[in-house]
Structure 1
Amino acid sequence: MTCPHHPSASSGATEAIVRQEGAQLDFSHSMSYGDYLQLDSVLGAQKPLSPAHDEMLFIVQHQTSELWMKLMLHELHAAIAHIARDELPPAFKMLARVSKILEQLVHAWDVLATMTPPEYTAMRPYLGQSSGFQSYQYRCIEFAMGNKNRAMLQPHAHHPERLAQVQAAYEAPSLYDEALRLLARRGLPVPASHTERDWRQPYEASEAVEQAWLTVYRDPQRYWDLYQLGEELTDLEDAFRLWRFRHVTTVERVIGFKRGTGGTGGVSYLRKMLDVVLFPEIWRLRTAL
């Protein structure tokens, strides 16, 4: 008698379940899971340059982050377009999804934080000048969120196609710009200086804009969808701040205060980014309520 815990018994039971469920096992004439997801290309893209065991972690961490950022841009662009058309329900779903993606990116730092300073030091010479500072997708996200800085176009000047994508994000209205234009269309007193401005310029907070948001927040029943928009933006920036903070702490844990491979001050540069506020009036109005 076969022991119920013997591997062959387990294997036999699994095969019986597969047969009962009618699972397709022969994909020689149809598209398979790997075909659909292009897994040969995706899983073949990890090419360590050093003999260090931990470089695989470093590569996978950053590649998966770029994939999540690709989805973030997909959702952000669609959300901005919906807000521009006064279609708020789908925009809310997309912005909530972006916040959840940022939660994933926050937890991803926990994995990279398992890399110790000596482990990183062993592979760092092989990185050359490559750095997350040069991520064109991250730069497009920052521009879409309103943190415009012309100097950040320069790291992509060597790649015309990438530069064109970053330039387009730099010149387009940001998520917050479109939110303010929506408030103005709804009759709230948002000044023209904030609805017809040069979208390439960094956003400057306005007392008038804060008063417009205060009108919404003091009467949420009347302005319910705009009130919800304000809270979706708050959730999004909250998640973005957490991602930035975990970035700083992870970098400090792994490399201390060494300069970044991309030439920045490393931790000192990242700490300065913690002070950037994307949707200032939505945060400031809470004091006045």
Structure 2
Amino acid sequence: MTGPDYAGYLRLERLLSLQEPLYPAGDDTATGSAELFFIVAHQTSELWLVQTLNDLDAATEALVGADGTGTPDGMEQALEHLGRAVAVMGLLEETVRLLERLPVQRFAAFRPRLGTASGAQSRNFHDLEVRLGTADEGESPLYRAFLKALAARGTSVEEVCRLGASGAGAPHRLAETLLDLGYRFWHWKVAHLSLVDRAVGGLSGTGGTAGASYLVSRTRMPFPELRSTRERLHQGQTGT
């Protein structure tokens, strides 16, 4: 049985037809190339967000059984998914830093053609914030699953942080991976804030937001309870 070839398996004909700059072809080749760069960076980011959401959902399912209670068996599987999500989050940050290669005069030339299109409208990004608990909807479902899995093992976040890597094993690795994920997300958001400030300064966003100041108000760290628990380890410690 013959399977699809490379282009057919990846649907490349369709995929590579989706980059359509709006700046008039021939008016300014450099600006047209810059807009293509802008489109490719955002399209690839959306694809990586799809993968991240998939892995976060799979990690949550691995931690919580079908009956909704915590399971002691899914931590290693969750670690596989979360480790990949951490790496992909790093790629998202690198993509933002890559966009610093977009000259401001080129961006200014094609930006009016974006209309009201804005990254703030990204459904995938909003869904990521829901998964991480940084949206307005409340606590992270991933973190809730982590707590349930710890309870199924008869332990808690406080105990895992106190025992450390040698004493807590997989639960500690999972806690540290959640922190890695949170900080990668934070670095990505800060990099994006820096990029926006560099590109448009104090101008309003194309989607009608307040621009950089809006991004500042929306920059939140995931898993605050986990971070505060680790911070309490310093209480009672004396320095020299």
Q: Deviations over 1:130-154 (max 9, x none)?
A: 111111111111101112325xxxx
What CA distance in whole angstroms lies between the structure 1 residues aligned with 2:121 and 2:231? 37
- Give the Cα separation in 1 of the matches to 2:208 and 2:95: 24
CA-to-aligned-CA distance 1:245-277 (integer Å, 9 cap, x gap): 110111111111111111111111112223x23
**Counterpart AA for 1:149:** D
Instruction: Give the CA deviation at 1:285.
Output: 2.5
Deviation at 1:99, TM superposition (A): 0.6
- Counterpart contact for 1:113–1:250, Cα < 8 Å: yes
2:237 corresponds to which residue?
Answer: none
The Cα of 1:36 is off from its aligned counterpart by: 0.8
Which of 161, 165, 178 in structure 1 is aligned with 2:145?
Answer: 178
**What RMSD over aligned residues (CA atoms) do the two structures have, in Å?**
1.9
1:99-114 to structure 2, matched below 5 A, reads 99-114=86-101
Provide the C-alpha distance between the structure 1 equivalents of 2:157 and 2:3, rounded to a whole number of angstroms. Answer: 54
TM-score by length of 2: 0.84
- Gaps of at least 5 residues in structure 1 are 1-28, 151-169, 189-211
Name the structure 1 match of 2:117. 130
- One-letter amino acid of the counterpart of residue 175, structure 1: L
**Counterpart amino acid of 2:80?**
K
Residue 25 of structure 1 corresponds to: none
Structural mapping, 1:174-213, within 5 Å: 174-188=141-155, 212-213=156-157
2:147–2:157 CA contact under 8 A, matched in 1: no
Match of 2:85 among 89, 98, 103: 98
Within a 5 Å distance, the mapping from 1:65-84 to structure 2 comes to 65-84=45-64
For 1:88, the aligned partner's letter is M
CA deviations on 1:180-208 (whole Å, 9 max, x unpaired) are 222233334xxxxxxxxxxxxxxxxxxxx
Counterpart of 2:27 in structure 1 is: none
Shift of 1:115: 1.3
Please say if 1:50 is aligned against 2:48. no
1:273 paired residue among 209, 215, 218: 218
Q: Match for residue 136 of structure 2?
A: 149
Q: Deviations over 1:70-96 (max 9, x none)?
A: 111111110110011331101101101
Counterpart-to-counterpart distance in 2, 1:32 and 1:179: 41
- What is the letter of the counterpart of residue 216 of structure 1? V
Provide the rounded CA distance (Å) in 2 between the counterparts of 1:31 and 1:95: 31
Whole-Å separation in 1 of the counterparts to 2:91 and 2:221: 21
User: Distance between the aligned counterparts of 2:39 and 2:140, measured in 1?
Assistant: 33
Q: Which amino acid aligns with 2:227?
A: W
The higher relative CO (CA closer than 8 Å, separation ≥ 6) is in: 2
% same residue? 34
Q: AA paired with 2:154?
A: G
Any unmatched runs of 5+ in structure 2? Answer: 25-30, 66-70, 234-240
Counterpart in the other structure of 1:117: 104
CA distance in 1, matches of 2:152, 2:77: 19
Contact preservation (8 Å) 2:59, 2:82: yes
The equivalent of 2:229 in structure 1 is 285
Q: Are residue 62 (structure 1) and residue 42 (structure 2) matched? A: yes
C-alpha contact (below 8 Å) 1:82/1:88 kept by paired residues: yes
From the CA coordinates, give the structure whose radius of gyration is larger. 1
Is the 8 Å Cα contact of residues 56 and 85 (structure 2) preserved in structure 1?
yes
Question: Are 2:214 and 1:247 aligned?
Answer: no
SS of structure 1 residue aligned to 2:101: coil
The one-letter code sitting in structure 2 at the alignment partner of 1:283 is R
- Paired residues of 1:79 and 1:94 also in contact (CA < 8 A): yes
Please state whether the residue corresponding to 1:263 is helix, strand or coil. coil
Matched position secondary structure for 1:179: helix
> Is the Cα contact below 8 Å between 2:115 and 2:206 reproduced in 1?
yes
SS in 2 for 1:219: helix
Of 39-48 and 85-94, more deviation after overlay is shown by 85-94
Q: Offset at 1:30?
A: 5.9
Residue 32 in structure 1 maps to residue 5 in structure 2 = yes
